[in-house]
Amino acid sequence: IEEFTAQGKTPVILATKEKVLGFVMIADEIKIESKQAIADLHKLGIKVIMLTGDDEKAAKHVASLVGIDEVIAHVLPQDKLTKIKDLQSQGHIVAMAGDGVNDAPALAQADVGIAMGTGTDVAIESAGITLLGGDMSKLVKAVKLSKITMRGIKQNLFWAFFYNIVG
C-alpha cells in the first residue's frame, strides 16, 4: 500500500475484524492542461498551494507531476478555511479554486473564489467565478483578463482625474 500511495494512489481497503479481504487503489487523473496551467501561474508570480483531504503521499506525488509549490494534506473543510484566513492575515491576496462541498467555506472566504463548472452546486454558489468545463488553463486566462481589466480601470481613472484637473 505504501508503494502505491507513493505513486499518487489512494487505498480503499475491504476488511473484517480478523483480516484484510482486499484493497483497491484509486488515483486522480491529471488533466493534460494542468501542468502548463501551473507553469503559467508561476510566470504570473502566483504561488500555488494544494489543500486536500487526500493522503499526503498521494497529494505530493500529484503536486510533483504538475509543479505545485506546497502541499497540505489530510485537511478538513474547516482546515481549508483556516489556511485561507491565515494567508489573508499575512497580507496575501488569496484565490481559492475548488469543486466540492468541502471547498465551499474556503471559496466563500477567499478574496477570489473560483469554482470548477464540473463541481457541486454549493461550490459554484460560494465562488465569485465559475470556470466552465473544469479546465485549469481557463484560470490563467481569468487572471490575465482581470489584470488587463484593472489596468484599463486605472488608466481611465487617471485620465478622468487629469481631464477634471485641467478643466
CA–CA separation, 140 and 22 (whole Å): 42
- Give the helix/strand (H/E) hosting 71: strand 70-72
Question: What would the pLDDT profile of 59-76 be if each residue is shown by its tens digit?
Answer: 888 899 999 999 999 999
pLDDT of residue 166: 92
Provide CB contacts within 8 A for 64, sequence distance 6+. none
Specify the amino acid at residue 36: Q
pLDDT of residue 42: 95
Which letter does DSSP use for residue 25 in this model? E
Please tell me the total number of residues recorded for the chain in this structure: 167
**Alpha-carbon distance values, 97 to 19, 35, 54, 86, 104 (Å):** 40, 15, 16, 17, 10
Question: What would the pLDDT profile of 30-39 be if each residue is shown by its tens digit?
Answer: 888 889 999 9
Partnered with residue 49 across adjacent β-strands are 70
Find, among 135, 8, 138, the residue nearest to 63 by Cα.
8
pLDDT of residue 84: 94
Look over the chain and give the mean of its residue pLDDT values, rounded to a whole number.
89
Q: Establish how many alpha carbons lie within 13 A of residue 59's alpha carbon, considering only the half-sphere containing its beta carbon.
A: 15
Predicted TM-score (pTM) of the model is 0.75
Q: What is the mean pLDDT of residues 9-16?
A: 88
Question: What would the pLDDT profile of 75-123 be if each residue is shown by its tens digit?
Answer: 998 999 999 999 999 999 999 998 888 899 999 999 999 888 877 888 8
pLDDT of residue 81: 93
pLDDT of residue 109: 94
Provide CB contacts within 8 A for 138, sequence distance 6+. 131, 132
pLDDT of residue 1: 81
User: At what angle are helices 137-166 and 32-43 packed, to 10 degrees?
Assistant: 30
Q: What is the mean pLDDT of residues 3-22?
A: 87
Specify the amino acid at residue 84: I
